[in-house]
Amino acid sequence: MVAMAPHPPSVERLRAVDGFLTDAWAEQLRHDERLRGTGVEVRFDRGVAHLTGEAADPAELRRVRELVGRLAGVYGVWCRVRVAGRDPVVVDLGCGGQKQWPGNLGLDIFPAPGVDAVADLSGSLPLADDSVDVLFAVHILEHLLDFLPLVDECHRVLRPGGVLHVMSPWWRHVNAVADPTHVRFLDVQTIKGICVQRPPGTPRWHPLHAACDGASIFADLTPLTPQDPPPTPTHLSRFFD
């Protein structure tokens, strides 16, 4: 018998899950002393936590990210948060005419409303080293025959503590094959390969979160320096086989 791929949650189920997550986070705010006075706001949309507002320092933002990501039913933790009074530099890769947040810098190979700079994402990004706080790669990697050069470029341009948000069709869902411009299939295990299975000397990543909702895979990755320890097996076991 051929195993059937799980169906993604229905719109009604996702709406109910968002309600549960909203209530769960509100309760955590009431009872967790570590969150007292935080200015980071959390909104849930189809299982993705959207963080806005302001954090006093990077440690506060990391703490909120980690605690939100531990809630059952969260698929990704996407952020656009001011830290210590500074607006983040947020870049949408391959944004087309739709950015994840207004005010993000949009890069795409084709000019369109909302595209701030035309760039071939299979080559070098027109961004300086350590200049970006958040990168969105939403429905991008599946269009690149070799997406690792782009992932390496993201590592180069992200500041320490920056985050790369990935969203792509899951390989077992019809969306992965319905678009003839898709040339790669991805799974959550692909994210594990990006983080821990690349040759020595290549850019390394720490997975903050990784999940699949039955239709898409999500990953939140932060760059590691050569001096940083690798992710521990205990941490990796949260997300990967």
The residue with greater pLDDT, 7 or 60, is 60
CA distance 95 to 212: 22
pLDDT tens readout for residues 18-69? 999 999 999 999 999 999 999 999 999 999 999 999 999 999 999 999 999 9
pLDDT at 237 over 70: yes
pTM, two decimal places: 0.94
pLDDT confidence band for 231 (50 / 70 / 90): very high
- Ordered structural domains, the chain, with CATH: 1-85 (3.30.1340.30), 89-241 (3.40.50.150)
pLDDT at 5 over 80: no
pLDDT confidence band for 195 (50 / 70 / 90): very high
